[in-house]
């Protein structure tokens, strides 16, 4: 062989060898598909052989292309074709049958649920789909310790461990977040039911004053995790539902996903005539989310949601109407054709940056807007709220410590005015007519909290958690209505004393399947500006916020190869400076500190997998809540109610559900709920009756082709046509000689049916 040819041959051989040894690596990160939490120690397999594991931060590196399988206990496995030299983000969905292994982010220190030091509940997408994805109450009320009353689709009250039960209308004293965007306004009021339930992938709920990271609210925190954009997948899903009382609902979801970025849009339109008079409901929502993994260290996420709502209000009725004509609206609300017309927008941008494997920063900026017009029999209310804020935190770890440190700033500007409602001066059927202005206020509300929390791994089984929250709230009220003898100037400033709320918790793994936990924590509930206003127009600066200590012990675990899972909690919440809403007119309340309450309770959850094969499942769940909530010291308007049961909370709630899924596509569930009696008056002279509800959903889903799937479903709510009060108004007062209106009648037996189509590109 000539020298030159030999030289070229040797060069080519060495080049080929060098090329083979310099094979480009495949790198990436494995995360929770909903909250983006990195998933540690995921098993990575090729050709059914385990070849690698992700590290503690979810990072992985592979040296050859192929179709890999990713598996982690608590999450559904996923297959994906990976190419050499590329960086991938792998998203895993949780396995609803193994929730104890799921990483929760409610403390912002990702930890497996079974090692959490507080009562944390997860509602998965599977749980949400068990109902008609229309009513939040059917989803939330399966969680022990939580009770949502629903007088109408737009009239609700959520309580956690009895906190918030004394709020006359709506939900307060419970904090809520949509991802990192606060849904709780500067006065502590929260509204979640306007959002599209079908756009939510998961709820994470911390019960009791145990979340120093989210403001140390007395009742707890509800964190809504929206459906994220999905990487490496593009599809369109459409759903159409019809049902009783003129229900029509359509929803369309579109996802466009690339290797490291994705965009998801969801539109829904829901309308209903309602069971009762003056009960029409019409809502449109649009949700947009985008996930962008810019590189190995930076992630940018955008989220926005717009809601337009027009919902008429039947309001509560007296006992005679409730028993004999439950479909009737309150007479004055029907005459005025009272309704709520509102537009709501929230939007946020979040940036996540890894400084190194042990230090991470997460920063979110957000804004929200709300504009509403609400004609009521006694006046017409116009509201306009704009808010903005910033939330930032550092998340770090060392050998034995995981910690987070950060803060949240929030400011909202609330403009509201009332006008005469002249409906009585016009022919019947005309409805509300706006008259002269009665009041005009502008309110600036400022809120900040600084927080720190650390988890110390004393051993591989023992975790100690310590947290602290520093909270400050202030507002400025400007009365813009002309001042006169009849209209005193109500302008003023109010600043709460800085509140420091500590928490201490611990959990211990007895073995791989059973853990015990306990915690002691402090929390508070803010005072609304309306509660501070006195009848003479002055601000009551002596009013104190409700504060309390929460004591809790509990256990989580599994037996029989994880087929039987349980959770149990015993708690006591000692509350002081109880705020009482003293009614002075149809649309006027003043706040009073009237005493102390004690909330003792038991919460129990059990689930059992009767059958769990690859394509067929049969599962059952039960949950039980026992409440013993009492006024320890309570004197109001000269009446001593000490020792009485706390108003607005059922004595107990029991849920049982059985669901199944077959290999040929048939699925369904049967849900039974029993609700105990509820004290309606502080004197305990009146209780609502206990009741039981049974709901059913059946469906059939099938793949028509490799790209097209369909799902047909049918459901019945309140199968046995039980008459019950779906919400009560505590301590109602009758005006003009009329009987007090305590009751919101629940819907009789009703159905829904629909179809869902999903096409993958």
DSSP symbols for 435-491: EEEEEEEEEEEEEEEEEEEEEEESSSSEEEEEEEEEEEEEEEEEE-SPP-SSS----
CA–CA separation, 332 and 334 (whole Å) = 5
SS3 label, residue 115: helix
pLDDT at 2 over 60: no
Whether the predicted model's global pTM rises above the 0.85 cut: yes
Give 187 or 547, the one with higher predicted confidence.
547
pLDDT at 9 over 50: no
pLDDT at 742 over 50: yes
DSSP category for residue 75? B
Q: What pLDDT, on a 0 to 100 scale, did the predictor assign at position 502?
A: 92
Strands 175-178 and 171-172 turn out to be: unpaired
Q: What pLDDT, on a 0 to 100 scale, did the predictor assign at position 52?
A: 84
Give 563 or 534, the one with higher predicted confidence.
563
Contact 445, 473 (CB under 8 A): yes
Pair of tokens at residue 746: 């629940």
- Residue 580, C-beta contacts closer than 8 angstroms, at least 6 positions apart: 166, 591, 592, 593, 594, 636
3-class SS string, 305-337: EEEEEEEECCCCECHHHHHHCCCCCCHHHHHHC
Pair of tokens at residue 609: 């997998």
Of 342, 358, 363, the C-alpha closest to 179 is: 363
CA–CA separation, 104 and 121 (whole Å) = 9
Contact 42, 92 (CB under 8 A): yes
- What percent of the chain has a predicted confidence (pLDDT) above 90? 54
CA–CA separation, 761 and 757 (whole Å) = 13
pLDDT at 21 over 50: no
Q: Share the mean pLDDT of the chain.
A: 88
Q: What pLDDT, on a 0 to 100 scale, did the predictor assign at position 534?
A: 62
* Phi, psi at 71, each rounded to 5°: -140, 140
In this structure, the dihedral spanned by the alpha carbons of residues 179, 362, 146 and 303, taken in order and rounded to 10 degrees, is: 0
pLDDT at 592 over 90: no
CA–CA separation, 652 and 692 (whole Å) = 12
Strands 750-760 and 691-703 turn out to be: unpaired
Which of these ranges, 335-339, 392-396, 530-534, 643-647, has the smallest mean pLDDT?
530-534
Secondary structure E strands in 211-246: 220-226, 234-243
Strands 49-53 and 546-559 turn out to be: unpaired
CATH of domain 220-760: 2.40.170.20
Residue 571 burial (CB count, 10 A): 21
Which span out of 145-149, 195-199, 735-739 was modeled with the highest average pLDDT?
145-149
DSSP symbols for 76-103: --EEEEE-TT-EEEEEE-B-GGGGGGSE
Query: What CATH superfamily classification does 3-93 receive?
Result: Carboxypeptidase-like, regulatory domain (2.60.40.1120)
- pLDDT, tens digit (0-9, with 9 covering 90-100), for 366-418: 999 999 999 999 899 999 999 999 999 999 988 889 999 999 999 999 999 99
Predicted confidence band of residue 473 (pLDDT cuts 50, 70, 90) = confident
- pLDDT, tens digit (0-9, with 9 covering 90-100), for 244-259: 999 999 999 999 999 8
Contact 296, 29 (CB under 8 A): yes
pLDDT at 13 over 70: no
CA distances from 51 to 47, 60, 62, 63 (A): 10, 11, 9, 11
- pLDDT, tens digit (0-9, with 9 covering 90-100), for 41-82: 899 998 888 888 888 888 899 988 889 999 998 888 899 899
Domains of the chain, residue spans? 3-93, 220-760
3-93 and 220-760 in the same fold: no
In this structure, the dihedral spanned by the alpha carbons of residues 525, 527, 531 and 536, taken in order and rounded to 10 degrees, is: 150
- What percent of the chain has a predicted confidence (pLDDT) above 70? 93
Contact 67, 78 (CB under 8 A): no
Predicted confidence band of residue 11 (pLDDT cuts 50, 70, 90) = very low
Which of these ranges, 69-83, 236-250, 472-486, 650-664, has the smallest mean pLDDT?
472-486
């Amino acid at each position: 062989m000539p020298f030159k040819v030999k030289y070229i041959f040797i060069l080519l051989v060495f080049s080929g060898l060098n090329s083979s040894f310099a094979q480009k690596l495949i790198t990436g990160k494995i995360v929770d598909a909903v909250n983006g939490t990195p998933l540690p120690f995921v098993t990575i397999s090729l050709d059914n052989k385990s070849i690698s594991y992700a590290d503690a931060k979810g990072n992985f590196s592979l040296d050859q292309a192929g179709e890999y399988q990713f598996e982690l206990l608590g999450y559904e496995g996923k297959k994906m074709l990976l190419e050499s030299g590329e960086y991938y983000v792998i998203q895993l969905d949780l396995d609803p049958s193994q929730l104890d292994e799921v990483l929760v982010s409610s403390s912002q220190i990702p930890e497996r649920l079974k090692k959490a030091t507080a009562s944390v509940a997860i509602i998965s997408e599977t749980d949400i789909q068990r109902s008609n994805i229309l009513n939040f109450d059917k989803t939330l009320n399966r969680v022990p310790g939580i009770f949502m009353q629903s007088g109408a689709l737009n009239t609700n009250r959520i309580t956690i461990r009895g906190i918030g039960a004394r709020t006359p209308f709506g939900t307060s004293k419970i904090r809520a977040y949509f991802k990192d965007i606060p849904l709780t306004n500067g006065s502590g009021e929260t509204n979640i039911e306007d959002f599209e339930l079908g756009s939510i992938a998961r709820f994470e709920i911390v019960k009791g004053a145990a979340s120093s990271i989210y403001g140390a609210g007395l009742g707890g925190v509800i964190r809504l995790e929206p459906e994220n954009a999905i990487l490496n997948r593009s599809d369109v899903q459409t759903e159409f539902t019809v049902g009783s009382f003129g229900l029509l609902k359509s929803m369309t979801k579109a996802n466009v996903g690339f290797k490291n970025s994705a965009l998801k849009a969801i539109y829904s339109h829901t309308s209903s005539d309602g069971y009762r008079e003056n009960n029409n409901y019409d809502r449109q929502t649009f949700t947009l989310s985008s996930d962008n993994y810019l590189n190995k260290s930076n992630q940018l996420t955008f989220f926005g949601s717009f809601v337009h709502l027009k919902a008429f209000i039947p309001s509560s009725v007296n006992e005679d109407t409730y028993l004999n004509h439950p479909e009737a609206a309150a007479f004055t609300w029907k005459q005025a054709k009272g309704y709520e017309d509102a537009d709501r927008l929230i939007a946020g941008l979040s940036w996540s940056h890894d400084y190194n494997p042990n230090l991470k920063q997460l920063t979110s900026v957000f804004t929200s807007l709300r504009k509403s017009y609400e004609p009521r029999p006694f006046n017409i209310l116009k509201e306009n709220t704009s808010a903005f804020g910033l939330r930032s935190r550092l998340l770090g770890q060392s050998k034995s410590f995981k910690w987070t440190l950060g803060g949240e700033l929030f400011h909202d500007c609330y403009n509201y005015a009332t006008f005469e409602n002249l409906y009585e001066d016009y022919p019947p059927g005309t409805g509300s007519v706006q008259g002269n202005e009665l009041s005009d206020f502008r309110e600036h509300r400022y809120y900040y909290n600084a927080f720190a929390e650390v988890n110390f791994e004393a051993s591989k089984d023992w975790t100690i958690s310590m947290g602290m929250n520093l909270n400050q709230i202030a507002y400025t009220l400007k009365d813009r209505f002309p001042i006169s003898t009849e209209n005193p100037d109500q302008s003023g400033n109010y600043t709460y004393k800085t509140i420091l709320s500590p928490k201490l918790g611990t959990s211990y793994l007895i073995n791989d399947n059973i853990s015990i936990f306990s915690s002691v924590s402090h929390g508070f509930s803010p005072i609304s500006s309306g509660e501070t206003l006195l009848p003479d127009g002055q601000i009551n600066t002596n009013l104190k916020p409700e504060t309390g200590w929460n004591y809790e012990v509990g256990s989580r675990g599994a037996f029989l190869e994880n087929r039987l899972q349980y959770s149990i909690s015993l708690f006591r919440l000692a509350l002081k400076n109880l705020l009482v809403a003293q009614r002075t007119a149809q649309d006027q309340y003043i706040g009073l500190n009237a005493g102390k309450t004690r909330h003792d309770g038991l919460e129990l959850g059990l689930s059992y997998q009767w059958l769990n094969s690859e394509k067929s499942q049969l599962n059952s769940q039960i949950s039980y809540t026992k409440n013993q909530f009492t006024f320890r010291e309570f004197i109001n308007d000269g009446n001593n109610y000490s020792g009485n049961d706390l108003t607005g909370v059922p004595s107990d709630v029991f849920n049982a559900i059985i669901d199944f899924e077959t290999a040929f596509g048939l699925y369904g569930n049967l849900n039974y709920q029993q609700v105990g009696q509820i004290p309606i008056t502080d004197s305990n002279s009146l209780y609502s009756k206990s009741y039981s509800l049974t709901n059913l959903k059946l469906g059939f889903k099938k793949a028509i082709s490799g790209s097209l799937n369909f799902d047909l479903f049918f459901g019945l709510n309140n199968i046995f046509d039980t008459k019950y009060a779906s919400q009560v108004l505590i301590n109602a007062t009758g005006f003009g000689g009329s009987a007090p209106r305590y009751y919101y009648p629940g819907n009789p037996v009703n159905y829904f049916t629909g179809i869902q189509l999903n096409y993958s590109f």
